[in-house]
Amino acid sequence: MGENPNLVTIDPNGDMLIKLKYRSTAQSKWKNESESVEDWIAQAEAAKAVIENETARPEQKPTEVHYLVSSRQLRIVSPYFEKMFKRNYDETVPNSEDGLYHVRAQQWNPHALAIMLNIAHLQFAAIPKELSVRLFVALFLVADYYQMEDALRLFTKEWQEQLQEQPMPTLYSEESMLWMFLGVKLKEGEIFESMASLAMREACHPIQFLDLPFPRGEKGERFFLMHKSLLTLIGVGQLDSMRCKAIQALLAGTHKLNQDLYEGNAGCNDACSAMMLGFLQRSLWDTKLLSHIEKHDQHPFEGLSFDVIYRGINNVVYDQSYGIIIQAGCCQIRDLLYPICEKAEAHFELDFSTF
């Protein structure tokens, strides 16, 4: 006989039991950016093999938590529950043993679900004063699914202020994408823009949105964002496109410059063109970018990040500036590379009128 589920009483006089099952060992959806697509496939196949080998073993049972709540209160706060009772689902028929409505729930963070239910029941003493970033995200996921965001927003001001006092992530990572999600939900333009910039510049693969319910900009899925005193309607679906366009502009521009130098169409004379071509190709070879320059249109640029390419091109400028005595009046390759970099970086500008 299994263990009795833990009971969390939200309303002592409640008439509904929300029965949550979740696995505490759920794996992160984040994939290591330093690994290749082949590595990801190999890991997926290995994980599948492990699952197949363990099918004969007793399955690890999920943890179960029950929440005693008021159906009337949830119907007032949540259109999700109101629709449930209007359509006469099985959950709207009282259980024959305890007389309560039984509603099943899966895989939510149990703490986030408890907080959201306490908010819905106005149980102020049970609502925490502080939240971690991860729990804040989990809370929005629960609110999004059960259509309780209006109720949640009545309590987010203090948590939002705490978030603003924390240092934002400085590298593209699972943590930065959680922050970006909160930037969307809290309509924090600075947070969203900073995290979006990290993702577009540092992602080596298509941006990992972690299956979070970001508005993608498709079929009306957009959101209002306060940015520099302007209320703007945007979606995140274009961020990957912007990343690809910026990388392609950088690679294609450098490829064209390489060709122009080879053909003598750039530089003040043949010697100047040859010298700059040498600097360019040597630096691209050293940074293992030369082959990528030749294949500058291979979307979605797996294994390449904008910043890696950008730093490689900046090495060309460094080499010519410090590696040789330049003849007076001779061209500087940085003068040819900077416009390419500026044109590529322009693709990162969040021109909100295009969203």
pLDDT given at position 217: 54
Strand partners, 105: 20
Residue 354 pLDDT: 40
DSSP-derived 3-state class of residue 106: strand
| Type of residue found at 210 | L
Q: What percent of the chain has pLDDT over 70?
A: 79
- Alpha-helical (H) ranges within 124-217 are 133-145, 149-153, 157-165, 174-185, 189-202
Rg (CA), the chain: 27
Q: What is the spatial distance between Cα 264 and Cα 273, in angstroms, rounded to a whole number? A: 6
- Those residues with Cβ within 8 angstroms of residue 14's Cβ, 6 or more apart along the chain or in another chain: 68, 69, 70, 71, 100
User: What are the phi and psi torsion angles at 133 (to 5°)?
Assistant: -60, -45
Region 112-118: mean pLDDT is 97
Q: For the chain, give the number of residues.
A: 355
Task: Note whether 15 and 73 are within 8 A (CB).
Answer: no
- Higher pLDDT pick, 52 / 242: 242
Q: Structure pTM? A: 0.82
Lowest mean pLDDT among 27-36, 96-105, 239-248: 27-36
How high is the pLDDT of residue 43? 47
CA gap 187, 126 in Å, rounded: 26
Cα angle 179, 181, 182 (rounded to 5 degrees) comes to 65
- DSSP letter (8 states) at residue 327: P
The percentage of the chain sitting over the pLDDT mark of 90, rounded to a whole number, equals 50
pLDDT of residue 296: 63
pLDDT score recorded for residue 231: 38
Identity of the amino acid at 283: S
Give the pLDDT confidence of 268-314 residue by residue, as tens digits.
888 888 888 888 888 888 888 888 887 766 778 888 899 999 988 87
What is the DSSP annotation of 198-216? Answer: HHHHH-SSS---TT-----
Give the other-Cβ count within 10 Å of 26's Cβ.
10
Write the pLDDT tens digit of every residue in 169-210.
Answer: 999 999 999 999 999 899 888 898 899 999 999 999 999 999
Q: What is the β-pairing status of strands 63-69 and 16-22?
A: antiparallel
* Residue 62: per-residue pLDDT: 80
